[in-house]
Every structure is written in C-alpha cells, then in structure tokens.
Structure 1
Amino acid sequence: MSRVTLEFPAPAIYSHPVRLRISDINYGNHLGHDTLVSLLHDARCGWLAEHGLTELTVDGKSLGWVVAELVVNYRAEAFYDDQLQVELAIGEIGSKGAEIYHRVVGKEGVEVAVAKVGVVFFDYTARKAAAVPENFIQLAKRP
C-alpha cells in the first residue's frame, strides 16, 4: 500500500487545547479516528472564532469554505484524560483553495497525528467555488 507522508510546516499559527473525554476513546482504548476528525474541525473553528469569523464567513461577510480533502498520518496513541494541543499551519494557497495542516501533540511533546485538510472557498449564495479572500491570506501569515 502506498502511503502519503505529511510533514507539518512551521510555524504554527494557532494552538487549540483539548482534554480527551471518555466518549473520545474507542474499543481499542485510545483516541478514535472519528473523534480525531472532529477535534481537527473544532480547532479550525476555534482559529476562525479567534478572529471573529466562521466557516460560513471566512471573508468576514458571506464567503465560506468546504472541505475537499483530508489526509491523516497517525503517529502515536492518545488516551482518556490526555491533554492535547491541536496546532494549525497554512500550506499552499491556490486561486480557490488552501491547505490547512494540523499537528496533534500529546504528553511530553509526542506527535499523535499530522493531518492536512484541503479547503475550497465557496460562495454559498451562488453555490460555486470562489477566489481565496484577501483576509484569509493575511490570517495565514499571522503567528
């Protein structure tokens, strides 16, 4: 099986703390993959909220984004009551989309997972892809 290997680009522009709940743990007694995807989503929403934005108002008005791609590399286990940090960094920015990287860090700096989400900016009124808004480009540069 071929494998996509992700590397988290520096610097992190946002860090989102998470304490794992018992409901985040699967039958393998560690963080479930479905929960990890939700934690990544929560971190992106937290980053936007810090700037007064949402996934439906990324431009500060009415332009949002849709997730077009998700790749995850699992690196270590995480367990009930672990305190994690979900860090974000921006990768390539295209004409209508961008890469948002996530690094999940656990105890003693152990990397639990690295993920990349490809988002496409989307005009929900016109129901079509839109150009990357300038304010997103500026947000992507802020540490």
Structure 2
Amino acid sequence: MARPDPARQNPAHYPHRTTIQTRFQDLDVLGHINNVAMAALFESARVRFNRALELSGWSGHRWLVARVEVNYLAEAYFPDDVEIATGIGEIGNRSWQILSAAFQKGVCVATCDVVIVMSASGGLTTLPDNFRAGLEANRVG
C-alpha cells in the first residue's frame, strides 16, 4: 500500500485538532498502541470534530458510517498523548469523507479515511445546502 500524500501527514492542513490520552490498556504484547485502540482514538477525535462543527440536530436525519480505512505509518506508544487532526475530504450528493491523521511527538503515526452517508426515514437523502456549506468550510487544505 502506498503511503498517504505528504500533505495528509501535516497537521497544519487540517482545520480541527484534538489531543487524546493513550491508556496502558491500549498496548499490545509488543508494547505499542494496538490497531483496535488506534481506531478507537480516531473515532473519539471524529466525534469531537462532528460536535465542533455544530451540524447535528437535523430532525429526521442520521449520519451512518459506510467505510473506515486506517493506514498505520509508524508505531505509537503509551504514555504519550496522540494529537489527531481532522477535516473534510470529498463531498458527494449524499455522502462525505472525514479525513484524519494521528501524530505523536510530531510524527504522523496513522491516517484514517471515513465515508459518512446521510440517511432519512425513507433511506439515503441528499445533503441540505446549509449542511454542505458547513462541510465545505472545514475542508482539509
């Protein structure tokens, strides 16, 4: 697998950053943060990012995770915190990407690409214009 674009490995290209503490229980037998724990760190950062966007509250609409891809670039360790930078990637008619990168001591240790789809009671639905504008304002640069 090819390494992500170097721009994805620069926290300055993302509009949102959050720091998450690692835990001893996140370690595998080799002493580094295991893949399941890294996915959970990305999930926590994604939830914080979504809350910071203040785009929730769409009555009758739900956001569903359609795909998650994590690329591990280097080992991460306890007890150092992980800084996760997050922003919006591609925006479609009914879906959008949330792109993240995890950094420890300034080194990009992993990237995560998530596809989210918007659903309403009748199934998938198009993104409302003002919702799309909120996503556009938070694109990865």
TM-score, structure 2 normalization: 0.82
* Cα distance change of structure 1 residues 5 and 66 upon mapping to structure 2, 3 Å threshold: farther
| Cα offsets for 1:6-45 (capped at 9, x unmatched) | 3329731211111111111122211111111111111111
Percent identical: 25
Find the counterpart in structure 2 of residue 12 from structure 1: 14
Structure 1 unmatched runs, 5+:
none
Q: CA RMSD in A?
A: 2.1
1:50 deviates by 2.4
The alignment partner of 1:61 has SS state of coil
* Cα distance change of structure 1 residues 135 and 36 upon mapping to structure 2, 3 Å threshold: farther
1:52 deviates by 4.1
TM-score, structure 1 normalization: 0.81
| Cα offsets for 1:24-79 (capped at 9, x unmatched) | 1122211111111111111111112224455xx4xx33312111111111111111
1:112 deviates by 0.6
Find the counterpart in structure 1 of residue 46 from structure 2: 44
In structure 1, C-alpha distance between the alignment counterparts of 2:116 and 2:72, rounded to whole Å: 21
Matching of residues 118-133 of structure 1 within 5 Å: 118-123=115-120, 125-126=121-122, 128-133=123-128
In structure 2, C-alpha distance between the alignment counterparts of 1:136 and 1:4, rounded to whole Å: 33
Given residue 92 of structure 1, which amino acid in structure 2 is its aligned partner?
E
Q: 2:112 aligns with which of 103, 111, 115?
A: 115
Find the counterpart in structure 1 of residue 34 from structure 2: 32
User: In the alignment, does 2:137 pair up with 1:139?
Assistant: no
Structure 2 unmatched runs, 5+:
none
* Cα distance change of structure 1 residues 16 and 133 upon mapping to structure 2, 3 Å threshold: farther
In structure 1, C-alpha distance between the alignment counterparts of 2:39 and 2:3, rounded to whole Å: 17
* Cα distance change of structure 1 residues 136 and 103 upon mapping to structure 2, 3 Å threshold: farther
